[in-house]
Amino acid sequence: MTQTPDKSETPDPEIADCGTVCREGLTVYFDGSCALCSTEIRYYSARAGEALRFVDVADSAVGPEPDLPRAAALKRLHVRQPDGTLVSGAQAFIAIWSQVPGWRWLARLARLPGVAWWLERAYRAFLPVRPALSRLARALGARPMRKP
């Protein structure tokens, strides 16, 4: 997106139209049925422009990739780098932050020795409570991109 979104309503990002893998920029695989995840993806989409492509793995029309089954993609955030490398969890967030203006400093900080390790532990602790947080986000007005 090139326009600054209205603060009251951020539009859904354009979902990747280059299949499930884009060789330009990062490809972000996310759970569009999760209201919390969708809110975060809308935020990144509004700020990162063309640097990020999005693939909603909750969409049954999206075919699985050999190295990323749908079940795995729905459980954790994944990012495919332009060279084809697939990263997930904290490494996926670090890759995203490196492309989002205003968040690049956090990507640099996260690359310091030991920081990514702690971020991964925090992400793993978050994953079991993600469904409850997504329900809370929905109750507070967040909307998923896809019906669960």
Structural domain contains residue 19: no
Instruction: Give the least confident one: 11-15, 77-81, 97-101, 129-133.
Output: 11-15
Structural domain contains residue 8: no
pLDDT of residue 148: 66
pLDDT of residue 147: 77
Structural domain contains residue 147: no
Structural domain contains residue 125: yes
Q: For residue range 34-82, list pLDDT tens digits in order.
A: 999 999 999 999 999 889 999 999 998 887 688 999 999 999 999 999 9
Residue 88 Ramachandran class (φ > 0 left, ψ -120 to 50 alpha, else beta):
beta
Structural domain contains residue 104: yes
- Residue 65 sits in which domain range? 26-139
Structural domain contains residue 144: no
Q: What's the pTM?
A: 0.82
Q: For residue range 125-137, list pLDDT tens digits in order.
A: 999 999 999 999 9
